[in-house]
Structure 1
Amino acid sequence: MKNYNIAVINSSSFGKYFPEHLQRLEKIGKVKSFTFDNNIDGKSLAEALEGFNIIITSVRPFFNKDFFAHKDALFLISRHGIGYNNVDIIAAKNHGTIVSIVPPLVERDAVAENAITNLLALVRKTVQSQDAVKGNEWSKRATFLGINVTGKTVGIIGCGNIGSRVAEIFKHGFNARILVTDPKVDNNWAIKHDIEIVELDYLLEHSDIISLNASLNDTSYNILNKREFSLIKKGVYITNTARAELINEAALLHALDENIVAGHATDVMYVEPSFNDNPLIKHPNVLVTPHTSAYTIECLQGMGEKCVSDVENLVKKAPLKNVVS
């Protein structure tokens, strides 16, 4: 029998709420948690993980070509999530490393609901209102003027697993007009829900609210940049529970300062953790949550169960599900 050493990397939630997940791993081998800088170089990361042949990891750090070039035996990287853009899949395959992810449906409702939760908190000034009450400033209540979401035009950029759920909630919960831009959108789904498939520029020009739900790749990186903000409907609200890199941060800050963007709600940042000296966090029209879209009991239970099952199946030489390399 092989000796299994399991590293849990940059995850603040794995095993915290469901300790039985850690207990099951401990029956298989040594388990150790690590917290690395998000941008640690590949060689240093490989050296720090010497001897660990199973990895359960969050969205960071990056397991790049340099990491695999210097890594000793590594049987499995199980992503504690649905994205895998932080893993060089080709390098992993060449190294003989299996990479698996959580089934998309596990995160679908939790992340979609948080995109809308954050958006509603932003447009109704929920945080500011609560702060006023806690500060005995009830008299300020007339200053917390928001907008209705019902009947608005909502643009969905990226309409896969999560984006499609965001669209459904806005459509059927708020009677919104839904515009979608996504090269792989399901036409039958769009017809069923009376959703319009449009080009990005049209979406930008007509949306009162924009939800970013695209995966991060070469075509979506900084999909909202200076040019896009020049086209965007003035007074738009944006919610992002996907990846910070979908938006050029400097262009966003300029649009916020010029009141082109009325408000921005985000659960993701370029640098995580981010602190209160960050210009976005300091901005009065920005709501930031600390990457907690998946933090529901149901979602975290499902994510943890999948990662543990990956490890157990690997050891038993049983097939793994949702393998990407």
Structure 2
Amino acid sequence: MKKHVVLYKKLSPTLMSRLQQHADVTLIDEPNRDGLARLRAALPHAHGLLGASLKLDAPLLDLAPHLEAVSSVSVGVDNYDLDYLDRRGILLSNTPDVLTETTADTGFALILATARRMVELANMVRTGQWKSNIGPQHFGNDVHGKTLGIIGMGRIGEALAQRGHFGFGMPVLYHSHSPKPAVEARFNAGYRSLEALLQEADFICLTLPLTAETQGLIGARQFALMRPQSIFINISRGKVVDEPALIAALQQGQIRAAGLDVFEREPLPHDSPLLQLNNVVATPHIGSATHETREAMAQCAVDNLLSALAGERPLNLVNPKAWGMRVSG
């Protein structure tokens, strides 16, 4: 008998067909809206869940007594209670590798767009305000040769460092839990304390996950350490940053500009002060949003889920403790 999978993210016809070959599938459209009731109704029969961008807390998962595995179409796992999943022996998997290069592309696009004031000046052309040659009041800043500071030197951080070092001749500084000699050798990168990096870097880029330790990591004190010409880039998670402190730093000229793909609240409220600032480039969480990468992420998630439901260890298992419980049990 096939196991039952509750899918709360649409798949391509090819991937949907593959999943249906191995499982009975219930697709829930828009689980954060009207579909939430359908999701709750489907959970008592679920052996597997596959989707993204939905917080799966204990009250919700308590409705799924047969649940064996959750496959997230994402890298971040801040929507999941790992302790709860471990206690129940529910396997959680993610898609960490396939979006690395695309997300780094997004990060560097934000670096270029903020430094050269691309959005602001493109809007000037679009609205008919370009009346004469561009003067100093509209000049941007160079990117090549400037110091790139990366906070969180994981896969995406390394991909960003590669672009800066080899493509733009940027000295690279980084901060992480511990020094990484291989990174230093490859990119001639320098390890710094968080405070030193904030003071030295021209571009400060966040590429670290949201955890209890990183939530609110960058606030008023950290922005005060940055220089007036610093440009701040966030492609990690919105809650790593104290957003009111960021707004104040931009309004008061403590930093030059910000390129933001993530926010404390998503979608970003229409009355956010960030939308009134010309020195902000804001994008709607598009880090991995290309046709190729999203399909690769979905394929990875399907692979992870089918492995778990077949009694195999998923390639991208997040919580090995739950696997240990399954094996020992």
Is the 2:5–2:46 contact (alpha carbons within 8 Å) kept by the matching residues of 1? yes
Q: Unaligned regions of 5+ residues in structure 1, if any?
A: none
- What is the TM-score normalised by the length of structure 1? 0.88
C-alpha spacing 1:190/1:37, structure 2 compared with 1 (3 Å): same
User: For the residues of structure 1 that align with 2:286 and 2:186, how far apart are their CA atoms?
Assistant: 31
Is the 1:74–1:97 contact (alpha carbons within 8 Å) kept by the matching residues of 2? yes
- What is the TM-score normalised by the length of structure 2? 0.87
* 1:156 is aligned to 2:150: yes
User: Deviation at 1:177?
Assistant: 1.5
Paired residue total:
314
For residue 299 of structure 1, what is the amino acid of its counterpart?
T
* 1:99 is aligned to 2:88: no
Q: 1:112 aligns with which of 94, 104, 115?
A: 104
User: Deviation at 1:203?
Assistant: 0.6
Is the 2:69–2:309 contact (alpha carbons within 8 Å) kept by the matching residues of 1? no
Q: Deviations over 1:244-289 (max 9, x none)?
A: 1111011111101101121111111111122322222332221111
Instruction: Say which is worse superposed, 290-299 or 203-212, in terms of deviation.
Output: 290-299
* 1:29 is aligned to 2:29: no
> What is the 5 A alignment of 1:270-285?
270-285=264-279
Question: Please, what is the CA RMSD of the aligned residues?
Answer: 2.4
Aligned to 2:6: 6
User: For the residues of structure 2 that align with 1:72 and 1:7, how far apart are their CA atoms?
Assistant: 17
Q: 2:162 aligns with which of 163, 168, 175?
A: 168
> What is the 5 A alignment of 1:221-232?
221-232=215-226
Q: 2:182 aligns with which of 176, 179, 188?
A: 188
SS of the residue 2:106 aligns to: helix
User: For the residues of structure 2 that align with 1:32 and 1:96, how far apart are their CA atoms?
Assistant: 24
SS of the residue 1:139 aligns to: coil
C-alpha spacing 1:96/1:260, structure 2 compared with 1 (3 Å): same
Is the 2:43–2:63 contact (alpha carbons within 8 Å) kept by the matching residues of 1? no
C-alpha spacing 1:200/1:120, structure 2 compared with 1 (3 Å): same
> What is the 5 A alignment of 1:214-253?
214-253=208-247
* 1:205 is aligned to 2:203: no
C-alpha spacing 1:99/1:141, structure 2 compared with 1 (3 Å): farther
C-alpha spacing 1:88/1:297, structure 2 compared with 1 (3 Å): same
User: For the residues of structure 1 that align with 2:247 and 2:240, how far apart are their CA atoms?
Assistant: 14
* 1:134 is aligned to 2:126: yes
Q: Deviations over 1:281-310 (max 9, x none)?
A: 332221111111101233212201111112
SS of the residue 2:256 aligns to: strand
Between 1 and 2, higher relative CO (CA 8 Å, sep ≥ 6) is seen in 2
User: For the residues of structure 1 that align with 2:65 and 2:46, how far apart are their CA atoms?
Assistant: 8
SS of the residue 1:168 aligns to: helix
User: Deviation at 1:138?
Assistant: 3.3
User: Deviation at 1:50?
Assistant: 4.0
C-alpha spacing 1:92/1:47, structure 2 compared with 1 (3 Å): farther
C-alpha spacing 1:29/1:44, structure 2 compared with 1 (3 Å): closer
